[in-house]
Amino acid sequence: MDSVSKMDILKSYLETKGLKSTSQRDYIADIFFKTNTHISLEELLKKVKRKNTNIGYATVYRTMRLLTECGLAISRQFGDGQTRYENLPEDGHHDHIICIKCSKIAEFQNQKIEQLQVEAAKKLGFTVVNHKLELYGYCPDCV
Amino acid sequence: MDSVSKMDILKSYLETKGLKSTSQRDYIADIFFKTNTHISLEELLKKVKRKNTNIGYATVYRTMRLLTECGLAISRQFGDGQTRYENLPEDGHHDHIICIKCSKIAEFQNQKIEQLQVEAAKKLGFTVVNHKLELYGYCPDCV
DNA sequence: ATAATATTGATTTTCATTTTCAATTTCAAG
DNA sequence: CTTGAAATTGAAAATGAAAATCAATATTAT
């Protein structure tokens, strides 16, 4: 199972840093690994509190920093003043389109674009490993 | 001259919004259009104050919001807690491909990709104003 | 020139993030 | 199974960039 191996990566990271394993960290990480969106700390805390009322904001904050440090989470800022954390997608890649007025984020996939990227890179002698594509504009509500 | 036409775009935008043209806005925009980096408000304010001590932080802030709204600036957050503004490149748009080994940066343009982006956005009801595309991979020397 | 309206800039407010600290928990060694 | 050093927790306070406020000022159409 995927979340198991992610948990193992976390455990290894803690060990090498001389940090301790705690029920709070495990719980927060487990919830996060099951998310599929760009989740903010508030949102994650809310999810966590549903079953575990005692966990505080600071612990979620610190756990997400750890996950980011060991590469299990990607912290992103889309311009709405909130840091959001992205769980590593198990399968495919997606790109983002961000509203420059209300900061709404939509995702899309386009195989043709990915293919053209590889071709454009090849023309310059580059081999593409990874990419980041963000479109900025107006969402349907803000046009 | 390019900065003239950018200034024209700004002027048109102000007009359609019923906003007024002021010496501060013109001055800030002019300075910004000459930048080549990802500049923060603090940095821009500092540049602006060199010749025009009376302009305040708030005005720079508001001017950059305007420039962002009309697509003349791109606001970015790299994770250091500061918003930075990127000036649109003078000679049309280009994307970047970055070598993950030696950090060499090459630029490319691809009209077809841009077109597909607009289409992908339209499917979601978005109107694209600008975009950021970064490819990461190996350059010819590092393959 | 006037009046209506927008802008300015110093300041304050807001709010997400980060730090602090006393109480608690973990874990390796005895 | 203890013990104790060291890390963790969570509530609360501090931080600081971004956004809002407001009286004074500037702009623009008439």
Task: Specify the pLDDT at position A79.
Answer: 76
- A contacts of B134 (beta carbons < 8 Å): 131-133
- B contacts of A116 (beta carbons < 8 Å): 110, 112-113, 116
Q: Is the same domain home to B64 and B82?
A: yes
Q: What protein residues sit with their CB closer than 7 Å to strand D?
A: A 14, 18-20, 22, 24-25, 54-59, 62-63, 81; B 20-23, 40-41, 57-58, 61, 65, 81-83
How many residues would you count in chain B? 143
Tell me the C-alpha distance between A47 and A51, whole Å. Answer: 8
Interface test with A, best of B99, B118, B124, B129 (most A CBs within 10 A): B124
Query: DSSP string of A24-60?
Result: HHHHHHHHHHT--SEEEHHHHHHHHHTT-TT--HHHH
Q: Is the same domain home to A72 and A110?
A: no
Task: For residue B143, tell me if it sits in a domain.
Answer: no
Task: For residue B17, tell me if it sits in a domain.
Answer: yes
Q: For position A101, which CATH number holds?
A: 3.30.1490.190
Distance B10 CA to D23 C1' (A): 28
Q: Is 80 exceeded by the pLDDT of residue B79? A: no
Largest separation between any pair of C-alpha atoms in chain A: 56
List the alpha helices (DSSP H) in chain A: 2-17, 23-33, 41-49, 57-69, 111-123
Identify the segments of chain A with pLDDT beneath 50: 3
Q: Is 60 exceeded by the pLDDT of residue B2? A: no
Q: Is the same domain home to B8 and B64?
A: yes
Considering A3-7, A92-96, B3-7, B117-121, the range whose residues carry the highest mean pLDDT is B117-121
Q: Is the same domain home to A20 and A80?
A: yes
Q: How many domains does chain B have?
A: 2
Task: Specify the pLDDT at position A132.
Answer: 83
Task: List the domain range (segments joined by +) for residue A51.
Answer: 2-87
Q: Is the same domain home to A54 and A115?
A: no
Q: Is 90 exceeded by the pLDDT of residue B32? A: yes
* Cβ atoms of B131 and A136 closer than 8 Å: yes
Shortest CA–C1' contact from A58: which nucleotide? D10
Interfacial A residues in 52-111 facing B (CB < 8 Å): 75, 77-79, 97, 99-101, 106, 108, 110
| A96 φ/ψ sector (left φ>0, alpha ψ -120 to 50, else beta) | beta
Beta-bridged to residue B98, according to DSSP, are B105, B136
Q: Is the same domain home to B76 and B101?
A: no
Tell me the C-alpha distance between B33 and B3, whole Å. Answer: 6
Q: B25: part of which helix (H) or strand (E)? A: helix B23-33
Task: Specify the pLDDT at position B104.
Answer: 74
ipTM entry? 0.74
pLDDT in tens, B43-71: 999 999 998 888 999 999 999 999 999 98
Task: For residue B78, tell me if it sits in a domain.
Answer: yes
Task: Specify the pLDDT at position A93.
Answer: 75
Q: B27: part of which helix (H) or strand (E)? A: helix B23-33
